Amino acid sequence: MAKNVQHLSLYEQIKHHLLAEIELEHWKPHDKLPSENELTKQFSVSRITVKKAMSDLVEQGIIYRVQGKGTYVSAPDSGSAAGEAPIHPQETQSVALLLPFINNQHNALLLNGVESILSEAGYSLLFCNTENSIEKEERIIREMVERQVAGMIVYPVDGESYNREILQLTLDSFPLVVMDRYLRGIDTNCVCPDNLRGAQEGVNYLISLGHRNIGFLSTVITGTSSIEDRLAGYEKALAEHHIPIDRRYRYVDIELGEPKPIKEKIRDFLERNPELTAIFAINPGLGLQAIKVASEMGIRVPEDLSLIFFDDFEFSEFYTVRPTFISQEENVLGKEAAKLLISIMENPEQDTQKLFFPPKLIIRESTAKPGSGR
């Protein structure tokens, strides 16, 4: 075959090799081809890469599969062996969505956005709950590859800075979009809120009200790009307004899931820093705990302490003090992640895309000028 394939991706090189062998009649109509395992060893690639090459040739009618027997060369005008019906790709292809949990409004809106676009495009959705476990996330990714899903959208678990299965999918040019946060050092397609910009906008608003002593509440930062970027946005806002960055005002190792210890930590934080007039929290869980602790300590929100956090929560409209928050526009993010994945599945040779969408500041009653109740 005269075509130069050196510049092609691995799966296309395998595909062109198989085509060349068939054109040269090294394999004749209805000859059985090597198995996926044999081709994987021959070309020193993953099974995903071989599977993709074979699937393309099946779609083109050049080869056909016989359930339980193997893959064969199609006859010039028949497309299959006599008496054997070729296995065509399913009319409805499946896409897997991996979320670390589904017990909050944020992830429910992401799920809804993804599903609405995939359904409209004719894809079925397989939802997988990784339970915020890297081990389970890796296992589910392997299972989805075995199920031959057409693509995947992955919301990485907290604290995840590296995932070997996501890296392998990327190296294999598997249709993949990482959503909500990204993994540094792995060049994947991703759709994320601009967390740095969102945090900066929130802190800028507090500064515009007259606040200078602004605290930052966070779970463990290292390894989670979204939290790292929110801290960077907080510090950038302070620096641009020439406000010293005081590390005493940062509490960044709070673990969720244990309400009593969290409340004790926040109480200790407020007692150690009585001069704080505002707090920026990275999520509703920490933000609501801060409001509760402040109330128990006789600190009024927003008269004595203003509060902003990322994301809304269910029934927030009925909360005693409706919180000011940074909306990530989750439904939009979910839709954009699904659109990008569909684009990748239909045009796998396109360049990697990293899409960042600006969050939106929603101003309500938990913020005011410092000392407004005096």
- Whether residues 62 and 182 share a domain: the answer is no
Q: How far is CA 14 from the centre of its chain?
A: 30
- Which of 206, 251, 246 has its CA nearest to residue 227? 251
- Whether residues 212 and 285 share a domain: the answer is yes
Whether residue 53 lies inside any domain: the answer is yes
Distance, in Å, from the CA atom of 219 to the CA atom of 159, rounded to the nearest integer, reads: 10
Distance, in Å, from the CA atom of 329 to the CA atom of 326, rounded to the nearest integer, reads: 9
Give the strand pairing for 360-362 and 324-327.
antiparallel
Instruction: Give the total number of structural domains in the chain.
Output: 3
The residue type at 294: A
Whether residue 177 lies inside any domain: the answer is yes
Whether residue 41 lies inside any domain: the answer is yes
Please identify, among 43, 73, 103, the residue that sits at the C-terminal boundary of a domain. Answer: 73
- Whether residues 188 and 334 share a domain: the answer is yes
pTM beyond 0.85: no
- Whether residues 180 and 223 share a domain: the answer is no
Question: Is-contact 154 98, C-beta < 8 A?
Answer: yes
- Whether residues 279 and 206 share a domain: the answer is yes
Distance, in Å, from the CA atom of 153 to the CA atom of 96, rounded to the nearest integer, reads: 6
Whether residue 84 lies inside any domain: the answer is no
Whether residue 1 lies inside any domain: the answer is no
- Looking up residue 232, the CATH number of its domain turns out to be 3.40.50.2300
Distance, in Å, from the CA atom of 370 to the CA atom of 7, rounded to the nearest integer, reads: 62
Strand partners, 97: 127, 153
Give the strand pairing for 151-154 and 124-129.
unpaired
- Which of 46, 54, 345, 16 has its CA nearest to residue 172? 46
- Whether residues 234 and 265 share a domain: the answer is yes
Whether residue 87 lies inside any domain: the answer is no
- Whether residues 205 and 297 share a domain: the answer is yes
Helices (H), the chain: 10-23, 36-43, 47-59, 105-120, 134-146, 164-171, 195-208, 225-240, 259-272, 284-296, 330-346
Whether residue 111 lies inside any domain: the answer is yes
- Whether residues 47 and 140 share a domain: the answer is no
Question: Is-contact 193 152, C-beta < 8 A?
Answer: no
Q: What are the pLDDT tens digits along the chain (374 aa)?
A: 444 444 566 778 888 889 988 888 889 888 999 988 888 888 887 767 787 788 888 888 899 887 667 889 998 765 444 444 444 444 568 999 999 987 778 888 999 999 999 988 888 999 999 998 989 999 999 999 988 899 999 999 887 666 788 888 888 889 999 998 888 778 899 999 999 999 999 999 999 999 999 999 998 887 788 899 999 999 999 999 999 999 999 998 777 655 558 889 999 999 999 999 999 999 998 999 999 999 999 999 999 999 999 998 877 887 888 999 999 999 999 999 999 999 998 888 889 999 999 999 999 999 999 987 65
In degrees, rounded to 5, the angle at the alpha carbon of residue 147 between the alpha carbons of residues 141 and 149 is: 75
Please identify, among 73, 103, 121, the residue that sits at the C-terminal boundary of a domain. Answer: 73
Q: How far is CA 188 from the centre of its chain?
A: 10
For residue 52, what are the domain limits?
Answer: 10-73
Whether residue 69 lies inside any domain: the answer is yes
- Whether residues 132 and 243 share a domain: the answer is no
Kindly write down the DSSP assignment for every residue of 243-301, as one continuous string. Answer: ----GGGEE--PPSS-HHHHHHHHHHHHHH-TT--EEEESSHHHHHHHHHHHHHTT--T
Collapsed DSSP state (helix, strand, coil) of residue 44: coil
